[in-house]
Amino acid sequence: MLDDFFIRALIAGIGISLVTGPLGCFVVWRRLSFFAGTLAHSALLGVTMALFFEINIAFSVFIISAVLAILLLQLQKKTKLPNDALLGLLAHASLAVGLVVIGFLTSIRFDVMALLFGDILAVNQNDLFVIWLGGGLILIILKLIWKPLFASTVNYELSEAEGMKPDKFNAIFTILTAALIAISIKIVGLLLITGMLIIPAATARNVSNNPKQMVIFSVIFGLISVLVGLFTSLKINSASGPSIITATLLLFIISLIKFKKVSDLKK
Amino acid sequence: MENKNKKILLKVENASFYLNNKALIKEVSLEIKQGEIVTLIGPNGSGKSTTAKIALGVYKKIEGRVRRFTERIGYVPQKISVDWTLPIRVIDFMSLTEDLKNDQINVALNLTGVEHLKNKSLSNLSGGEFQRVLIARAIAKKPELLVLDEPVQGVDFKGEIALYELIKKISEKLNCGILLISHDLHVVMSATDFVICLNGHVCCSGKPHTVVKDEKYKELFGDRASNILSLYEHDHDHSHSADGSIDQKK
């Protein structure tokens, strides 16, 4: 029989991959992978804040990511630095500050590695509740804003001209991304959550020819990766995050082979 | 053409737009009513696309006032590029801003002669095919106001004439107002109710036959451009009978 902790990890992982699929597609389409990575880096600061003030980790991470997103918007307006430089600045500055603050928290027993790379042992009932409730909410909102968000992803000016209010929905999407990172830190870890967003979506792109298909495939690939990754993690005692991401990589490589065959046939 | 009963769809009053302290357009005013085609002409960089984007509310930080009296708007932008990472077929693109029935999509694609491309990927279309899809998408939702920014760029000569015929037909059939940006003075002068000649500001404006006689128009486009009206009217009589049908496949 499987241990309780492992079943909890499975339920958590499945919940997360249901959300990273569709959200990851938008991250890839909108070229936001570095942005998602920046939000994930700031999560360390969020976790230390949670420990310091003794509040819920997911909630604290979400608040810090949201603050960071607002900061980024302000910096974009006020400086002439290119976007990637600003993102790098915020990502590593927040990571550094987070690590410094951890140093002051020596009284609390604290596993930094688990935070960076995920730890299936750490998932408790409360986390499952946060993942499935938060994840469900993210999916419902994404479903509701799908049309205007997709229109603004295809072309901002077109969607603005035809009354789809792209600014509003872009902002909602940013919040959803921050929320997803907040709920998935424990399983995948903050260094690797961006991989969970991007790699299944990139794999799905190789085998789909329309947006809905790509979303469905990226959910499927995410699910397979979580299952393969977690069982591997259990068997060979590897960290859960890296195991899951390695599984996504394998799927990506397989999709490349298949993709090549398909494009050969077209010629 | 003047009809006081027709609903005003769009009103731009003394709009100016600055980017990095440089005025892209200055004090431009225009008005579009139902069933009316208003055309913007002018050299490169004269602010035609900027004016269209201001009218559509894409650029918001402007001086002056823009009022739109309809929410049913169709827009064909000058440039649009879809990234490879986004797999999207023509059929997905057609209902981008509004849910359409399959029939509506078929009819619109048929009108612009690209029904056979329905299940093709957007990134595999040629320039001319893409323009036809863009126009089809904009008219499929039966807009009250249609804004077309150089809609026939990259379209072959025969298709160009047919598409302009189509645009004129649509304005009559849907009774929608059209803001058209075009370089093709021939077409502009024949199919348009009102011409605005831009060069950062409104140089001259009026009905086609009065604008071509305007000194400022001649300054901007040269003397030869003034003869266009008579030239076109001849061309038009000739090609109209041969090209009466807009069906590309025939």
* Whole-angstrom distance, CA of residue B250 vs CA of residue B245: 8
pLDDT for position A90: 93
> Quick check: B144 pLDDT over 60?
yes
| For residue A82, pLDDT beyond 50 | yes
**A162, B87: Cβ pair inside 8 Å?**
no
Residue % of chain B over a pLDDT of 90: 50
- Residue A54 contacts B where some CB pair is shorter than 8 Å: no
Which pLDDT score is estimated for B95? 93
- Please write the tens of the pLDDT for every residue from B149-170: 999 888 888 888 888 888 888 8
Q: What pLDDT, on the 0 to 100 scale, is given for residue A28? A: 96
In order of their start, the domains of chain A are 4-193 (1.10.3470.10)
Residues across chain A: 267
pLDDT at residue A265 is higher than 80: no
Q: Tokens for B167?
A: 């645009």
Residue of A nearest to B86 (CA): A29
* pLDDT of amino acid A106: 67
**Interface contact A164, partner B, CB < 8 A:** yes
**Which of B56, B87, B93 is nearest residue A208 as measured by Cβ atoms?**
B87
List of residues 6+ apart from B235 with CB closer than 8 A: B186
DSSP codes, B116-143: GGTTSBGGG--HHHHHHHHHHHHHHT--
Instruction: Quote the CA–CA distance of B179 and B40 in Å, as a whole number.
Output: 8
Q: Do B87 and A155 touch (CB under 8 A)?
A: no
Q: How far apart are CA A18 and CA A25, in angstroms?
A: 12
What is the distance between the alpha carbons of residues B210 and B213, in angstroms, rounded to a whole number?
5
**Distance between A156 CA and the closest CA of chain B, angstroms:** 9
pLDDT at A247: 96
**Cβ distance B179 to B38 under 8 Å?**
yes
The whole-angstrom distance between B62's CA and the closest CA on chain A is 16
Architecture in CATH for domain B1-72+144-154+175-239:
3-Layer(aba) Sandwich (3.40)
Q: Which residues of A touch B75 (CB under 8 A)?
A: 157-158, 161-162
Task: Check CB contact of A198 with chain B, cutoff 8 Å.
Answer: no
Closest CA–CA distance from residue B99 to any residue of chain A (Å): 9
- By the 8 A CB rule, do A37 and A91 touch? yes
CA distance B155 to B243: 16
Tell the residue number behind the tokens 């000649």, with chain if given: B197
Pairing of strands B202-206, B22-33: unpaired
- At A1, the pLDDT band (50, 70, 90 cuts) reads low
d(CA B240, CA A94): 67
Distance of CA A142 to the CA centre of its chain: 14
Inter-chain touch A161–B53, beta carbons under 8 Å: yes
The minimum CA-CA distance between B143 and chain A, rounded to whole Å, is 10
Q: What's the pLDDT band for B21 if we cut at 50, 70, 90?
A: confident
- Residue A28 to residue B85, Cβ atoms within 8 A: yes
| Inter-chain Cβ pairs, chain A and chain B, closer than 8 A | 69
Query: Do residues B48 and B41 touch, judged by C-beta distance below 8 A?
Result: yes
Cross-chain residue pair B121–A211, CB shorter than 8 Å: no
Q: Does B83 touch chain A (CB under 8 A)?
A: yes
**B73 vs A58, residue with greater confidence:** B73
pLDDT band at A109 (very low <50, low <70, confident <90, very high): low
Q: Over pLDDT 70: what percentage of chain B?
A: 88
| For residues B1-28, average pLDDT | 84
d(Cα A27, Cα A31) in Å, to the nearest integer?
6
| Cross-chain Cβ contact A155/B80 below 8 Å | yes
In total, chain B counts a number of residues equal to: 250
Q: Is the predicted pLDDT of residue A107 greater than 50, yes or no? A: yes
pLDDT at B229: 58
CA distance B38 to chain A (A): 18
Is B124 within 8 Å of chain A by CB?
no
ipTM of the prediction greater than 0.90, yes or no:
no
Give the tokens for residue A143.
Answer: 């479903």
Asked if A157's CB is within 8 angstroms of B92's CB, the reply is no
pLDDT-derived band at A258 (thresholds 50, 70, 90) equals low
Query: Does residue A116 surpass a pLDDT of 90?
Result: no
For A97, the token pair is 């500050």
What was the pLDDT predicted at B49?
A: 93
- Percent of chain A scored above 70 by pLDDT? 94
Yes or no, beta carbons of B82 and A154 under 8 Å apart: yes
- Which residue type is seen at A187? I
CA distance B140 to B103: 10
Q: Give the chain B residue whose CA is nearest to the CA of A203.
A: B85
Q: What is the Cα–Cα distance from A20 to A193, expressed in whole angstroms?
A: 9
Verify whether the Cβ–Cβ distance A161 to B85 is below 8 Å.
Answer: no
* 3-state SS, residue B177: strand
Confidence check: pLDDT of B232 > 70? no
Provide CB contacts within 8 A for A124, sequence distance 6+.
A8
For β-strands B22-33 and B177-181, DSSP reports them as unpaired
Give the pLDDT confidence of A160-190 residue by residue, as tens digits. 999 999 999 999 999 999 999 999 888 888 8
> Within an 8 Å CB–CB cutoff, is residue A93 touching chain B?
no
Q: Distance between CA atoms of A128 and A58, rounded to whole angstroms?
A: 11
pLDDT in tens, B95-120: 999 999 999 999 999 999 999 999 99
pLDDT at position B165, please? Answer: 86
Binning pLDDT at 50, 70 and 90, where does residue A151 land? very high
pTM above the 0.90 mark?
A: no
- Count of Cβ atoms closer than 10 Å to residue B120 Cβ: 16
Looking at residue A203, its amino acid is T
